[in-house]
């Protein structure tokens, strides 16, 4: 199974219990490493400054094919966790790499393409139909379509203008509880998953503090997370989505949701991507 992950790598500056740690990651790294350790054949298409490339060692260590496109700067985000709640995260954009263009993704072709941007504008929505034609399954993460950076870098979530036209492009769309509430106004997990599905994607993955809920328009498939550390929180949704995308290619949605929750629970015990 060939799966392509598109999005910026990121210099994460994480502040947990007052201690600061710099980590070279990003959603595409968490997703690609997870999929590779589950037996898929991942490719990463990303952008960062040339001098930063050597720091993203997780891709090299896992022998993942990575295409680093040129950019004058790299995306860097500061994440502060002020409490023990893993969903209580305050993020600010320190710097950003260049957005993707049509030429950047013209050669992408895979069974599954997962669009996993970190901020709104990183991956222009008008490029989605182009990718849709080049994949059997087009997946996307809500974060990069709802999370916006203000002039001071502070990041906040806003509803997606044109969501009724954009979300039907996706075969699989991943949201967390906060993003689902922004899109639909709902807090109940099952109802929120239904409401996001009503906006158009074929399958919805909704992660929350307690686990994962998948809805395909007919049934809910739910599986719990079995624990976490705040240090392991970064990459939760990216790991869950990647595991689900690999598993759904091989088995039913219920089994895929269960495997995604299991893999994500293991990953949330430590910093960095899933170790297998």
* Strands 203-208 and 172-176, sheet pairing: parallel
| 139-195 pLDDT per residue, tens | 999 999 999 999 899 999 999 999 999 999 999 999 999 999 999 999 999 999 999
Exposed, middle or buried: residue 56 (CB in 10 Å: 0-12, 13-18, 19+)? buried
List, as one string, the DSSP characters of 108-157. Answer: --EEEEEE--SSTTSS-GGGHHHHHTTEEEEEEETHHHHEEE-TTSBEEE
Please count the other Cβ atoms lying within 10 Å of the Cβ belonging to residue 151: 5
User: 120: Cβ–Cβ under 8 A, 6 or more apart, which residues?
Assistant: 144, 145, 146, 147, 148, 149, 158
211-215: strand order across its sheet: 65-70, 41-48, 2-6, 110-115, 135-141, 172-176, 203-208, 211-215, 220-224
Q: Which pLDDT does position 86 carry in this prediction?
A: 65
Please count the other Cβ atoms lying within 10 Å of the Cβ belonging to residue 276: 12
Pinpoint the alpha helices (H) of the chain. Answer: 27-37, 57-61, 128-132, 143-146, 163-166, 177-184, 189-198, 236-248, 253-267
Ordered domains of the chain (ranges, CATH): 2-101+109-267 (3.40.1190.20)
Q: What element of type H or E holds 172?
A: strand 172-176
CA distance 141 to 67: 20
Mean pLDDT for the stretch of residues 67-82: 94
At which residue do the structure tokens 């950003």 appear? 96
Q: Which pLDDT does position 103 carry in this prediction?
A: 97
Mean pLDDT for the stretch of residues 106-114: 95
What are 250's strand-pairing partners? none
How far from the centroid of its chain's Cα atoms is residue 9's Cα? 11
Q: Which pLDDT does position 83 carry in this prediction?
A: 80
| 213-246 pLDDT per residue, tens | 999 999 999 999 997 787 787 889 999 999 999 9
Q: Which tokens is 253 given?
A: 């949605």
| 2-40 pLDDT per residue, tens | 999 999 999 999 888 888 989 999 999 999 999 999 999
Strand, helix or coil for residue 162:
coil
CA distance 249 to 171: 13
pLDDT band at 88 (very low <50, low <70, confident <90, very high): confident
Greatest Cα pair distance, the chain, in angstroms, is: 48
Q: Which pLDDT does position 82 carry in this prediction?
A: 84
């Amino acid at each position: 199974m060939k799966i392509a992950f598109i999005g910026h790598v990121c210099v994460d500056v994480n502040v947990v219990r007052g201690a600061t740690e710099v980590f070279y990651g990003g959603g595409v790294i968490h997703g690609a490493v997870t999929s590779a350790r589950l037996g898929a054949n991942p490719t990463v298409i990303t952008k960062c400054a040339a001098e930063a490339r050597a720091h993203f060692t997780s891709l090299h260590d896992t022998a993942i094919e990575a295409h680093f496109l040129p950019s004058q700067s790299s995306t860097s985000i500061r994440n502060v966790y002020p409490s023990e709640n893993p969903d209580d995260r305050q993020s600010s954009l320190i710097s950003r790499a260049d957005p993707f263009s049509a030429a950047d993704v013209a050669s992408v072709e895979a069974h599954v393409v997962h669009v996993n941007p970190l901020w709104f504008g990183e991956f222009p929505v008008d490029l989605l139909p182009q990718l849709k034609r080049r994949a059997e399954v087009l997946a996307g993460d809500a974060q990069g379509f709802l999370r916006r950076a203000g002039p001071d870098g502070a990041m906040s979530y806003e509803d997606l203008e044109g969501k009724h036209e954009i979300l039907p492009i996706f075969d699989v769309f991943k949201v967390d509880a906060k993003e689902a509430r922004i899109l639909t106004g709902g807090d109940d997990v099952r109802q929120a998953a239904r409401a996001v599905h009503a906006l158009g994607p074929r399958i919805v993955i909704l992660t929350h503090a307690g686990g994962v809920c998948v809805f395909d328009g007919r049934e809910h498939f739910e599986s719990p997370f079995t624990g976490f550390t705040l240090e392991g929180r970064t990459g939760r949704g990216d790991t869950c989505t990647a595991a689900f995308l690999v598993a759904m290619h091989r088995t039913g949605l219920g089994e895929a949701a269960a495997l995604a929750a299991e893999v994500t629970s293991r990953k949330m015990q430590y910093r960095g991507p899933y170790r297998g």
